[in-house]
Amino acid sequence: MLKYSIHREGGPSIAWVSLLLILIALVVLLSGSGRWFLWLLLIGCFCLWVVVVSFFRIPHRTYPDVDGCSILAPADGTVVDISVMEEPEYFKDTCERISIFMSATNVHVNRYPIGGRIVYSCYHPGKFLVAWHEKSSISNEHNTVVIRTETGVDVLVRQIAGAVARRIVSYANVGDEVDAIEELGFIKFGSRVDVFFPLGTRVNVEIGQKVRSGIDILGEITS
């Protein structure tokens, strides 16, 4: 049984790299064995193909059953910040924030951290600062989605582009009813995801901890 599948967002990128690999392979075969630099180019292109295919992988996981108060990690990556701060776009109030940095080697599909109804979704064009820069949350290209739980608690997820990531994909539509671990979207080639939730929520992770989307619990709503 395969442990991974390829995400649909990877189709165009994998197709272009595969075509490049085939063309270089044909050039190498037609040129004979004396062009060593072509063989190096072919090896380099093959390594690039492996990296691109790996980037769009989706692991087959068994997700735990959680209650409606648990906030799951929306992305694979490393927790780089846990802080209390003002969220200026939607809440316009002080909230708890957890930031997850996604490196190029992480799985890059994003998932809803909690079930409920989507009450807000907005894409913002912007800069491409490094993802861990404090201003990247607002200054960078980003997409904000807010899920309202059955108990009326709003949880905000923000997909943030970085210096390398140049495309954010979101499947969120206002009014949709979603379940935790459903696909929220995809960020191509590494970046960051922030989660904002009300003060008083029990935080279950710490800075430096590696988390997996849909599996690790970031926090639990207590009210």
What total of structural domains would you count in the chain?
A: 2
Nearest to 159 by CA among 174, 151, 171: 171
77 and 41 within one domain: no
At 158, which CATH number? 2.70.70.10
Helical residues (DSSP H) of the chain, grouped into ranges: 11-31, 36-55, 136-139
Dist CA 144 CA 155 (whole Å): 11
- Is the distance from CB of 43 to CB of 94 less than 8 angstroms? no
* Cβ count within 10 A of residue 160: 28
Tokens of 164: 């390398």
On whether both 94 and 31 belong to a single domain, the answer is: no
Do residue 40 and residue 91 come from a single domain?
no
- pLDDT at residue number 98: 96
> Does residue 76 sit in the same domain as residue 132?
yes
172 is in which domain, residue-wise? 70-220
Confidence at residue 7, expressed as pLDDT on a 0 to 100 scale: 74
- Tell me, yes or no, whether 47 and 147 share the same domain: no
Same domain, 34 and 103: no
pLDDT for res 155: 96
Tens-digit pLDDT profile for residues 55-112: 778 888 888 778 778 999 999 999 999 999 999 999 999 999 999 998 878 878 899 9
Q: Tell me, yes or no, whether 144 and 88 share the same domain.
A: yes
Structural domain includes residue 104: yes
* Res. 51: pLDDT tops 70: yes
Q: List active site positions.
A: 191
User: Looking at 38, 59, 80, which one is the last position of a domain?
Assistant: 59
DSSP string, the chain: --SEEE-GGGHHHHHHHHHHHHHHHHHHHHH-S--HHHHHHHHHHHHHHHHHHHHTEEE---PPP--TTEEE-SSSEEEEEEEEEEETTTT-EEEEEEEEEE-TTS--EEE-SS-EEEEEEEEE--B---TTSTTHHHHB-EEEEEEE-TTS-EEEEEEE--SS--EEEE---TT-EE-TTSEEEEEET-EEEEEEE-TTPEE---TT-EE-TTTSEEEE---
pLDDT for position 195: 96
Rounded to 5 degrees, what angle do the CA atoms 172, 107, 7 make? 60
Q: Has residue 201 been placed in a domain?
A: yes
87 shares a domain with 130: yes
Q: What is the mean pLDDT of residues 28-41?
A: 73
pLDDT of residue 99: 94
For residue 64, being part of any structural domain is answered with no
Q: For residue 55, is it within any domain?
A: yes
* Mean pLDDT, residues 17-30: 82
Does 46 lie in the same domain as 115?
Answer: no
**Are 33 and 130 contained in the same domain?**
no
Question: Both 35 and 77 in a single domain?
Answer: no
Confidence band for 121, pLDDT divided at 50, 70 and 90: very high
The predicted pLDDT at position 133 comes to 52
pLDDT digits (tens, 9 = 90+) for 166-223: 578 889 999 999 999 899 998 876 688 999 999 989 999 999 999 999 999 999 988 6
Place of tokens 């991974």: 4
d(CA 56, CA 199): 35
If asked whether residues 81 and 161 sit together in one domain, one would say: yes
